[in-house]
Structure 1
Amino acid sequence: MLSGIRILVVEDEPSVAATLVDVVEDAGGEVVGIARSVSEARQMIRAQGFDAAVLDLNLADGEVTPVLEALQARKAPTVVYSGGELPAHVRQRHPELMTLRKPVLPGRLVAEILRARKQQT
């Protein structure tokens, strides 16, 4: 399903990040990096080649809006995978953004990554 698709994971909780890696790899995708902070994510967005991103909204070091903006500027298909709700100001700015509330079944996450990619083309 995700064959040949390179995914950037932005998640600061190690167990959740490991689960995301398993889901992506089990679906045939490749995780190109795991960013555990806003600064790591911004650096990886500039440096890494990837096809889509899975983004947690709540990172330990701050607001992820700059990360989301960098992903959107790059036109990177993005799925928000978070324990919380998408803030209203983010929803207004990015109405097309797919948001999944943790936890979800692996198949749903894979399907939403594919849907986000399809919307970007």
Structure 2
Amino acid sequence: MPARKIPGAAVRRTPRSVMTNKKMSLEGRRILIVEDDYLQATMLRRRIERAGGTVVGPAWSRAAGLLLVDGEPFDGAVLDAELADGSAEPIATLLATRGVPFVVVAANDREYLPPALREARYMGKPVDHGDLLAMVADSLRERAR
């Protein structure tokens, strides 16, 4: 019997991660998370681990993020643009200087971000974690070329 459509019910779309699972593998990759929202960081950590990656962090502040950038090896990063102790711009600048790919997530439109964040791969909040992981995987593949 076909599924019955219920008026007013939310339609659940298939996340990009399900459609492109092979492209999303983070097997053996270490991903830095800089995110001050516990729930978002936890959900992202789980998705990265399910995709075969290892999480560095998460860093809950700019200061902690800067320490991890200098102290831990990693292949890529996800940065929340605005942290409790300020912009993630100094972290983005360090990552760009070192050639480490990163994705910026922000509640603001891209045009309002500082230059180091504006030029990076960007995803607006609220974030679909499957799409975000696909973007991270794409950035790692581009770096490998």
**Fold agreement, TM-score > 0.5:** yes
1:103 aligns with 2:126: yes
Q: Is the 8 A contact 2:89 2:114 kept in 1?
A: no
User: How far is the alpha carbon of 1:119 from its aligned partner?
Assistant: 2.5
Taking the aligned partners of 1:104 and 1:12, their CA distance within structure 2 comes to: 14
Cα distance per residue 1:39-82 (max 9 Å; x no partner): 11111000001000000001010122111101111211101122
Q: Which has the larger radius of gyration?
A: 2
- What is the percentage of aligned positions where both structures have the same residue? 34
The residue type paired with residue 13 of structure 1 is: D
User: How far is the alpha carbon of 1:114 from its aligned partner?
Assistant: 1.2
Taking the aligned partners of 1:98 and 1:78, their CA distance within structure 2 comes to: 7
Q: Tell me the residue number matched to 1:14.
A: 38
Taking the aligned partners of 1:83 and 1:108, their CA distance within structure 2 comes to: 16
Aligned pairs, number? 119
- Cα RMSD of the aligned pairs, angstroms, is 1.7
Change (3 A) 1:88 1:63: closer
TM-score after normalising by structure 2: 0.75
Q: Tell me the residue number matched to 1:38.
A: 62
The residue type paired with residue 109 of structure 1 is: L
Where structure 2 has 5 or more consecutive residues not aligned to the other structure, the ranges are: 1-24
User: How far is the alpha carbon of 1:104 from its aligned partner?
Assistant: 3.2
Q: Tell me the residue number matched to 2:115.
A: 90
Taking the aligned partners of 1:39 and 1:89, their CA distance within structure 2 comes to: 18
Q: Tell me the residue number matched to 1:73.
A: 97
Where 2:127 maps in the other structure, the secondary structure is coil
Change (3 A) 1:34 1:89: closer
Q: Is the 8 A contact 2:31 2:77 kept in 1?
A: yes
User: How far is the alpha carbon of 1:13 from its aligned partner?
Assistant: 0.7
Q: Tell me the residue number matched to 1:51.
A: 75
Change (3 A) 1:73 1:22: same
